[in-house]
Structures are given as structure tokens and as C-alpha cells.
Amino acid sequence: MELALSLGDAPKPFTFLDKTPKLSNKDLGFCMGLGTSSGSRSSDEKTRENRESEEDDGDERRRVSSDPPLQLDLLPFTPVLRTHQPSQLRFPWLTDNLASEPASSDGPGRGLDVNRFPTVATAAEETDDGAALSSPNSTVSSFQMDFCVRNGGRSKRDLDVETERASSRASDDEENGSTRKKLRLSKEQSAFLEESFKEHSTLNPKQKLALAKQLNLRPRQVEVWFQNRRARTKLKQTEVDCEYLKRCCETLTEENRRLQKELQELRALKTSQPFYMQLPATTLTMCPSCERVATTTTTTSGTNGNANNNTTATTTTTTNTNNTTNSAAMSLAKARLYPFASQVQAHMQQAPAHQAAS
DNA sequence: ATTGGGAATCTGGTTACCTCA
DNA sequence: CCTGAGGTAACCAGATTCCCA
């Protein structure tokens, strides 16, 4: 069993997931998407890759996410990520003519028409993270968007309260630079961001601007949302990894317990039947070509009558060929001791490479 | 009044780019 | 012209703060 597990960013994919079907989803209750995607790369690698892929964009962006966020695609706590229909949510960086498209000409295509606040945050959009416009003090655009999105089912009183709050916040922001606004993104905005996160776990400036424009948010807000989203993803992944490690530990503990018990039985058997002393010492080795387990036996000094050499290593294919007595008992003992011996033997005979290697 | 979720902020690290000696 | 140092900007992860439902 390969226990190449990691918390958080896996340094490499868990190859055993491909090799050992016994560690499948049904056993563990979650799918082993661990470390099989971009999340398994180091940030430096990702950064390097991103920069290589950004050459086409010139100086417009510095980092590009080239891989979709696959890491959580298979996890139970994440909704099915690939079920969205591209036609239902359009991403500005995927449709070049977005700006010129007529709004919601195809029904649910835009999906966020409710967010369409007439030219609210254009100034902020133009300047991206400019200190003045994207500073924490600037609440105007985001609030207006929020107001526009949520006012559908509200009473006038609610709207008045909201307006009052916003004006209060705005005034606070104007007079106090340290005031920190809190904005709850609407469901539509969150859903849209989620969808785009499934496409790109990181944003380039173009995508950020487009998303911000689409959602009537400040680019800084989009950027922060993606940062927090990545953090949440990693946290969830860590939880899943911990759970998996816990299960592995339990499995290994149980296996250890079972083997200890078996060892005790064999020791008891050995004291009652001394011929077990004649069994050669056995070690398990790994076949380098196919990574299967092979057994190598080392006969010890002449206890079986004709073995005069002190240390003679042979493979199991020749084990005990001279010992014709106690064959039944020996077979029984070997069957208990080396449950894989017959398979390994057959495998070794099939593969000529093994003969050469041995 | 309490609490959890999440938006926002802070901090430290990395990299790319530019300028200049 | 080349090179290395220094400065700057942008981005990110991680930790933290703190607002609000």
C-alpha cells in the first residue's frame, strides 16, 4: 500500500489510487480526487506555468490559471462541478463580444440581469485596484449593486433602511478611512463566482475585470472572493485528507492487530511442531518492473539434511525441492505464511524479465 | 446575546519588470 | 552592451479581524 498522503497540497498525485481498487470510493465514502489536479502542484510550479501561458496576454496580466480546479471535483461536499451548462452562464473572457451582446436575448443566458445596475461601477472598473476607487472606503458601487439585486421582494421600509445604512456607511467611509464595510454577496453573484471558479481557480486581470463588470462588483472584491474561495477549498481538502488518513490508520491498526494474532498462532504452532524451524527465512521484495511482491527465501544451515551451504539464496520456485518429507505440513504452513507466494511464483515464471533480474 | 460564515484586511513571500550605476 | 543591485508592483497563501444573518 502506498501511503503517499499529504495534507493540503499534495506534492504528487497519489498513484496508488490508480493501482489499488480496494481503496476505492465505496470504502472511504469519498472520491479520491486527492492530489490529482492543479492542487497537487506547488505554488511555484503553478506560478511558473501560469507565467508561461500568459505570454499571449502581454502585460495585461501576469498570472494565468491554465488548469481548471479539479481538486474538489469529486468530493462529496462540493456540488457537481461539471454539470453546469456553458450556455447558461457566460464568462466574459470566453465570449469576446460580450459587451456588444444584447442583454438576455436568450432567456437564462445571462442569468444575472437582475444585477444589471445601469453604469454604476464603471469608474472603479476602469481603474481596477486603484487605491482611490478600490479602497475599503469605497462602498458606493457595491452597495448599489447589492441594493439593485435584492430589492425585488422587499418592502419600501426595508429599502429605506438599506439606503440609510448605505448612506451611513458611505459617510463613515468618507470621514473615517478605517471603516470596514461588510457586504453579503447575493446568491446570484455567489453562484456566478462559483461557476467561474470552476473554470478558473485563479483569475487574470482580464477575467477579474470582466467578472467585476458582469457582477457590478469592484475588481478587488472579485479578487478577494477568489482568494477566500481558494482558502476554503484548501481547508475542505485538508479535512478530507485528515479523514482519509484517519481511515488509513484504522485500517493499518486493524491489519497490525490481525498479523500480531497470526504471529502468535504461528509461534504456538512452532513450539508444538519443531519442524517449522526448518522453514527458510523469507523476505518480501518488490518486483521493480511490475511492483508486485515477490518472495525470496534464504535457507539456513543444514537442518533439512542436504543443505550444507550456510547462506544460499534462491527464489521460491526452487524452495524446498529437496525436502520431500513433511510436504503436506509445509504446504499448509506456507499457505498461511505466504498467501501470495503462488501468485508471485506464477507471475515470475510468466515474465522473463524476472528471471533475468533475479 | 451568541455564533458561524464569509468578506475584508494584514503580513510575508515570490516573481517580473524597470532603472541605474 | 552586459550585469547586478535596488525599487516597485502585482499576486498569492495563510492568518486574522470583524460584520451580519
Specify the 3-state DSSP secondary structure of A78. coil
CA of A80 to C1' of C15 (A): 30
Nucleotides in chain B near protein beta carbons (<7 Å): 5-9, 14-18
pLDDT in tens, A11-33: 333 333 333 333 333 333 333 33
For residues A325-342, average pLDDT: 45
Residue nearest to nucleotide C13 (CA to C1'): A231
Any atom of strand B under 7 A from CB of A224? yes
Assign A86 a pLDDT band (cuts: 50, 70, 90). very low
**Which nucleotide is closest to A136, CA to C1'?**
B8
Q: Find the range with the poorest average confidence among A49-53, A183-187, A211-215.
A: A49-53
Residue A85 has pLDDT above 90, yes or no: no
Residue with the bigger pLDDT between A258 and A14: it is A258
pLDDT in tens, A133-154: 333 333 333 333 333 333 333 3
Residue A132 has pLDDT above 60, yes or no: no
What mean pLDDT is predicted for residues A175-195? 70
Three cell numbers, residue A92: 466574459
Mean pLDDT of A96-124: 33
Q: Which of residues 28-47 of A touch strand B (CB under 7 A)?
A: 44, 47
* A56 grid coordinates: 499571449
Residues within a 7 A CB radius of strand C: A 8-9, 43, 61-63, 65, 129, 165, 169, 180-182, 184, 202-205, 208, 223, 226-228, 230-231, 234
What ranges in chain A are assigned the alpha helix state H?
16-19, 25-28, 43-53, 122-127, 131-134, 140-150, 156-175, 187-199, 205-215, 219-272, 327-337, 341-350, 352-357
Query: How far is it, in rounded angstroms, from Cα A344 to Cα A338?
Result: 10
Instruction: Give A186's pLDDT tier (boundaries 50, 70, 90).
Output: confident
pLDDT-based confidence at residue A287 (cuts at 50, 70, 90):
low
Query: Distance in angstroms, CA of A228 to C1' of C17?
Result: 14
The Cα A182–Cα A191 span in angstroms is: 19
For all residues of chain A together, what is the average pLDDT?
Answer: 51
The arithmetic mean of pLDDT across residues A42-69, rounded, is 37
Threshold 0.85, pTM exceeds: no
Residue A346 one-letter amino acid: A
Per-residue CA distances from A143 to A149, A150, A174, A207 (Å)? 10, 10, 15, 22
pLDDT, greater one: A168 or A205: A205
Is A182's CB less than 7 Å from nucleic acid strand B? yes
Amino acid, res. A95? T
